[in-house]
Homo-oligomer: A and B are copies of this chain.
Amino acid sequence: MTPSPPTLTGLSAFPITPLHDDRVDLDALGRIVAMLSASGVDAIVALGSTGSYASLDRDERQRVVAAAVASAGATPVLAGIGALRTSHAIAYARDAVDAGAQGVLLAPQSYQPLTEDDVYGLYADVLEQVAVPLVVYDNPATTRFAFSDALYGRVASLPGVEALKIPAIPAGVAASDRIARIRDVIPDHITIGISGDASALDALLAGADAWCSVTAGTLPEPALRMTRAALAGDHARAAAEASRMARLWALFAELGSYRVIAAVAEELGMARRSSLPRPILGLDDDQRRRVREVLAMLGAL
């Protein structure tokens, strides 16, 4: 018997959840997930922030996870279960397990600002009710909650937590210092995934276990090349791959990765136009022209 692989190692791809006429386009999602599985990514995360989890209702979420599992082949599928209410997150976690997800991601989504005790209680309550490998998902740009390192330590010590998805390393902070500081406060078995595609390479070279990648959810090939090189210690090749993606990441920084990657998927024919949930309108025509220029440069168009 081999042990099951850790929940978050290597390259985790975060696909969009395409909508059409305010309905989830499960056929398009299935094709995206099948393409990701065929590419060889290590995990597929349905219903990440990039997957619009916060806009979808319970029934839609369950159908999205089921569709992803059905198309993912042997690639593990994890499912975002974020909610503004603990009981909703618990229901989403149960649904995700029922639909075949191998793990769940939970971000402390907020409307009223949350305290550290609220957030600790959220994770404790969910894990008390649902036995499932859980990734702690720290995404302050969307949740508007910033974990302290002490809270990382408290939450990561809860039984069931397997990984920690951290946001981009702040400018001016050495990735190695940041990763080492987090390792100091979390149990040894917890893996660390880095978000913020532009800071992923530094974090991987500094010892992060996984890249939680927006890019890889739609363009897995260059992301895989960078990840494999980085984890093999081939810094030069990894840096060359990252530099090819730098213009895409500059658009992420300027226009938001969520809107840009949806436009990428639409321009490549993976999703129909206006694939984001309204009120989010997505990129305008001029911004899409710039997206196409970057895709042409990447050889994707």
Which residues of A are in contact with B by a Cβ distance under 8 Å?
22, 49, 54-57, 84-88, 108-109, 111-115, 117-119, 121-122, 125, 141-144, 256, 258-259, 277-281
Contacts and interface: CB of A to CB of B under 8 A. Distances in A.
Contact of A114 (B85, B118, B141, B279): B279
Given A49-B111, A112-B258, A279 B22 contact: no
A85 B55 contact: yes
A287 to B, nearest CB: 11
B281 A85 contact: no
A109 B280 CA distance: 12
Contacts of A259: 112
Contact of A117 (B55, B119, B281): B281
Given A49-B111, A112-B49, A258-B112, A279 B118 contact: yes
Contacts of A278: 85-87, 121-122, 125
Counted per complex, copies of this chain come to: 2
A243 to B, nearest CB: 28
Contact of A112 (B56, B115, B125, B256): B256
A54 B281 contact: no
Contact of A55 (B49, B55, B56, B111): B111
A144 B111 CA distance: 9
Nearest to A125: B278
Contact of A84 (B55, B85, B87, B256): B55
Contacts of A85: 55-56, 277-279
A111 B280 CA distance: 11
A259 B114 CA distance: 11
A99 B200 CA distance: 50
B280 A118 contact: yes
A111 B48 CA distance: 12
B279 A122 contact: yes
Instruction: Name the residue in A84, A125, A141, A143 with the highest tally of chain B Cβ atoms < 10 Å from its Cβ.
Output: A84
Query: What 3 A-B pairs come out closest when comparing CB atoms?
Result: A54-B111, A122-B279, A86-B278
Nearest to A57: B88
Nearest to A88: B57
A57 to B, nearest CB: 8
A219 to B, nearest CB: 20
A121 B56 CA distance: 19
A113 to B, nearest CB: 7
Contacts of A277: 84-86
A137 to B, nearest CB: 13
A109 B119 CA distance: 20
Contacts of A256: 112-113
